Every structure is written in structure tokens, then in C-alpha cells.
Amino acid sequence: MGCFDTLVVFCIFCNAENYEQTKSGPCMLDYYRWDQPDLPTWMMQEFNGCEVQCSECDRTFRIVYDYEVVVKDRRLEAVNNLDYLELKDKEKNG
């Protein structure tokens, strides 16, 4: 069994925890939240644009980091299976 680090991402549809693993970093079996303020740059680079299929609701979303030196924006986006009205309703209702 190899060592890895894990990124924890919450589904934008059902809020279930999803886990994405990587061996790109120090591989210390650390867990990171996708939105934590001190998320290492290597972790953002590894998962930027990554599509995640939720293990609970089976819907797909994308991890997006727009950053330079300091993170300017981080968001989760729907991928192909959420129509515009449903997304606007979700944004309005929190």
C-alpha cells in the first residue's frame, strides 16, 4: 500500500464528502479541504480543473482554482448535468 495525500471536496448538490487522492505532494497521508485558506499550491495545481463524480448522488462537478500568488477565487462548478435554472435556484436558496 502506497502513501498519498487526500483532498476532501463537498458535493455542490448533496454536500456529501468526496475524496480525491494524489501522490504528487509529500505523501504524508494528510487530508486537506478544498477550500482551506492554507491549502498548498501544489495541491491546487494538482486538482485545478479536476472533475469529481459524487459518491452519493452520482452527479459531476469540477474543482476550479483561479490563482496567481494569492488565491483570488475558488469554486465548484456543475458539469453538464445541472441546468441553468436549477443552478440559479441553488444559489438563491443557499
Q: Decide: 11 and 18 in contact? Cβ < 8 Å.
A: yes
The residue ranking higher by pLDDT, 64 or 91, is: 64
Number of folded domains that form the chain: 1
pLDDT exceeds cutoff 60 at 76: yes
pLDDT of amino acid 87: 66
pLDDT in the model for residue 43: 86
pLDDT tens per residue across span 14-63: 999 999 988 877 777 888 998 888 888 888 888 988 999 999 999 999 99
**Containing structural domain, residue 71:** 5-93
Do you know the residue count of the chain? 94
Q: Highest mean pLDDT range out of 13-22, 35-44, 66-75, 82-91?
A: 13-22
Rounded CA gap, 55 and 35, in Å? 19
